[in-house]
Amino acid sequence: MNSGKPNILITEPIPAKVIDHLRDFANVTVGEKGYFQSEENLINEIQPYDALLCMLSVPVTEAVMKAGSNLKIVANFAVGYDNIDVETAGSLGIRVANTPDVLTEACGDYAMGLLLALSRKLKEAEQYLRDGNFKGWEPLGFLGMELRNRNLGIIGMGRIGQAFAHRARAFGMNILYHNRSKLDPDSEKALDATYIEDSGELAEKSDVVSLNCPLTDNTHHLVDSDFLNRMPVHALLINISRGAVIDEVALAEALHNKAIAGAALDVFEKEPEVHPKLLTAPNTLLLPHIASATHRTRQDIGMLAADAIISVLNGKDDREIPNLITP
């Protein structure tokens, strides 16, 4: 490493433009995919680095940050940051950054895509054709849910929740939402959205429930057996937030018992592990955490994280770095 430049660790490969941008400023090391998901590996190798650009799967714990005696900033390649011990970072004077805003539209599109695929049974219909079973148009084949005049219940009405709501409104859906607080009147009016204070009541009133909330102590296993039992039997569940918002055992049982009609999941509690009962559940669309997977969005995520790193290492005032997290 060149001692005249700061040292940056990127925990696995990201878009080349981002890496090149950082290499103009610093010595950059890019880890192998999965290697720094091990806390032990990170502890053993973090000490020389001034900055860490990491994935949600990387455990940035108290022990990691104490081992990183030169660390000045940890930047997550994600909008979430539940993998980072933010309080410890604050106590050690380490800045923490995430990447809000840049993935909103991609995630809004993706949530709408999941809903369309799930409600119209696209995965099952395609497999039916590929298996050689398609013999011609069938009047009772793969009947699904029409979206117009159905209720979409959104849990977590932040940027992504609102982006999904705008798209669903274009399909004629009615918007219900549960959030830590009500939207401002103008935003609520723009979506013609109805606030539901109790998440269980939202479950009862929704034909589709979408999870777009952060993972906190209050949202951990929010969707449990009680929540699922309150959903109508024809209802669908979508999750692009965090896997642990759902009790996966309870969901698998609900799907196998046809207590709800289907689920589309982009995230899982113990990624990359998927609960085996979910793998065999009917009308279930399971995808490998790709909600933000567009060329433009992934590059924008990386550039926002990189610019936060460069700003902090250059001594820029925290108030001028909009994506820093305050403990």
Q: Which of 242, 248, 269, 275 is catalytic?
A: 242
HSE of 273, CA atoms in CB hemisphere, 13 A: 7
Known catalytic residue: 289? yes
- Both tokens assigned to 109: 């599109």
Give residues with Cβ within 8 angstroms of 303, minimum separation 6.
17, 18, 21
Exposure string (b/e) for 151-185, b if CB count within 10 Å is 16 or more? Answer: bbbbbbbbbbbbbbbebbbebebbbbbbbeeebee
Known catalytic residue: 21? no
Contact 208, 115 (CB under 8 A): yes
Task: Evaluate the CA torsion angle 213, 219, 223, 226 in order and state its sign.
Answer: negative
Known catalytic residue: 295? no
Residue with tokens 């013609």: 192
- Backbone φ and ψ of 194, nearest 5°: -110, 125
Phi-psi category of 221—alpha, beta or left, where left has phi over 0 and alpha has psi -120 to 50? left
Contact 261, 284 (CB under 8 A): no
ω into residue 272 within 30 of 0, thus cis? yes
* Cα 298 from chain centre: 13
Q: Which of 178, 275, 289, 298 is catalytic?
A: 289
Give residues with Cβ within 8 angstroms of 11, minimum separation 6.
31, 35, 36, 42, 52, 53, 54, 55, 58
Q: What is the spatial distance between Cα 283 and Cα 67, in angstroms, rounded to a whole number?
A: 46
Q: Which of 45, 124, 253, 271 is catalytic?
A: 271
Known catalytic residues are 242, 271, 289
